[in-house]
Structure 1
């Protein structure tokens, strides 16, 4: 059974996340389908891609599949992790990707949404960054990604409190490009997609790649990188990491001790 729906019309591709029973969690199976669809769209000369959930969705995506996180002692967000793979896929595809967001966005799905080139939301949209709820150390590239889009203090608040950011505030801090009524969300999104599709796809793809390269043009020296990795390992080697995942699976509140 497919976990996404993909379609192409007038050079505009659409990927609909279609695993509502699991709140469109970014499992390896779903990510594999998204990656294959993006590859097909790219070969088909698609000019714009819209990433969305079904109309009326309460959750756009629940983020990383916690059941697929590794045991303690292994990096939970390593290079080939499904979440990191799909983030790279969206960031590196030459097509502009528009996130049409209805409903709440949790955890790593926030990073997926922010990896899209344009975000369009509605009053039901919210963003909640949840790694601290389950004791997961987020990776350096992901945190830098958030910092490139909004101020460091907003990033700290999102990660420290794990409380939802409303659609109105998300627009104010620069996460959402546009905030439109629910009943006009689809029309507004696809009108923007049609507008983009009329322009030079080569010019747009080159500009997108330039922006990606320039936004990541902040080199870390080897000592800093090693320090960051060492800090993250303190977390994924900890009893808090084990407790956070166990509590999630048992559907209870975790009891963190800081060790």
Structure 2
């Protein structure tokens, strides 16, 4: 049985105990603004609250996972960060239910951070990851600087963070960031197959495994994210940060001032 509900920016669908959450803003390459973040948070809360939902999948509509933060909205003062929950309502949230990212196309900036906040990643061969924030005068404060160096070699993570260069899905799979590679258009199908393999097991065992793993990783991440905020806040509130957003919106090169 499949039930679907619609909302302006996020769709949810149930498939035999698996809860599929889809960011549906294709006109903005599924970039996340404040309203989208609140809808994602609500969907994740539903996933955790219902005993009949054993696994969640986070994906994006029309062949794109997410281009990250909606910089045009950010330039207007809108934020996709929810207090206590982080970017998109997910990057700092403690989600009890196993969550799989199904990535097609771009997963850039906050899009990569949302994927890193998931427990597993399935990606199509045409998927592209990247912490591109440095191009816009900001940094990835919602897991990019903390989780990426834990998932792949530190020196490779530093190169990606400092250059803003993209990371192909095939290279990401080689580095261990991606669990499974698929052909384009098949990421959600493969994620569902993986989710159902998880969901066929005992619910108490599934919950215990995720909790134990999180106590060794995600909880430590929470401390690291809080510690990094001392360094991050001056960057995100700088003149260069606003210049980066304006330059993106105006389709021009930014003029950095170093302040």
TM-score of the superposition, structure 2-length normalised?
A: 0.84
3-state SS of paired residue (1:255)? coil
Residue pair 2:101, 2:118 contacting (<8 A) in 1 also:
yes
Which ranges of 4 or more aligned residues in structure 1 deviate by more than 4 Å?
A: 75-82, 218-221
The residue number in structure 1 matching 2:4 is none
Unaligned runs of 5+ in 1: none
Q: Does 1:28 align with 2:34?
A: yes
Residue pair 1:76, 1:236 contacting (<8 A) in 2 also:
no
Residue pair 1:3, 1:17 contacting (<8 A) in 2 also:
yes
Cα distance in 2 for residues equivalent to 1:76 and 1:26: 6
The residue number in structure 2 matching 1:52 is 59
Q: Residue 154 and residue 12 in structure 1: after superposition, are their counterparts in 2 closer, same or farther (change >3 A)?
A: same
Task: Name which of 87, 104, 107 aligns with 2:91.
Answer: 87
3-state SS of paired residue (2:91)? helix
Residue pair 1:106, 1:127 contacting (<8 A) in 2 also:
yes
Q: Residue 207 and residue 39 in structure 1: after superposition, are their counterparts in 2 closer, same or farther (change >3 A)?
A: same
Is the radius of gyration larger for structure 1 or structure 2? 1
Superimposed CA distance per residue, residues 31-51 of structure 1 (whole angstroms, 9 cap, x where no aligned partner): 111221222233332001111
TM-score of the superposition, structure 1-length normalised?
A: 0.84
The residue number in structure 1 matching 2:112 is 110
Superimposed CA distance per residue, residues 79-117 of structure 1 (whole angstroms, 9 cap, x where no aligned partner): 45751632133xx22211111111111101101001111
Residue pair 2:69, 2:80 contacting (<8 A) in 1 also:
no
The residue number in structure 2 matching 1:197 is 199
Cα distance in 2 for residues equivalent to 1:182 and 1:70: 33
Superimposed CA distance per residue, residues 149-203 of structure 1 (whole angstroms, 9 cap, x where no aligned partner): 1121121111111121111111111211111222543432222111111111222
Unaligned runs of 5+ in 2: 1-6
Q: Residue 10 and residue 161 in structure 1: after superposition, are their counterparts in 2 closer, same or farther (change >3 A)?
A: same
Q: Residue 219 and residue 181 in structure 1: after superposition, are their counterparts in 2 closer, same or farther (change >3 A)?
A: closer
The residue number in structure 1 matching 2:149 is 147
The residue number in structure 2 matching 1:64 is 69
**Could you tell me how far 1:138 is from its partner in structure 2?**
3.2
The residue number in structure 2 matching 1:252 is 252
The residue number in structure 2 matching 1:43 is 49
Query: How many matched pairs?
Result: 249
Cα distance in 1 for residues equivalent to 2:181 and 2:187: 8
Residue pair 2:92, 2:222 contacting (<8 A) in 1 also:
no
Task: Name which of 146, 155, 158 aligns with 1:156.
Answer: 158
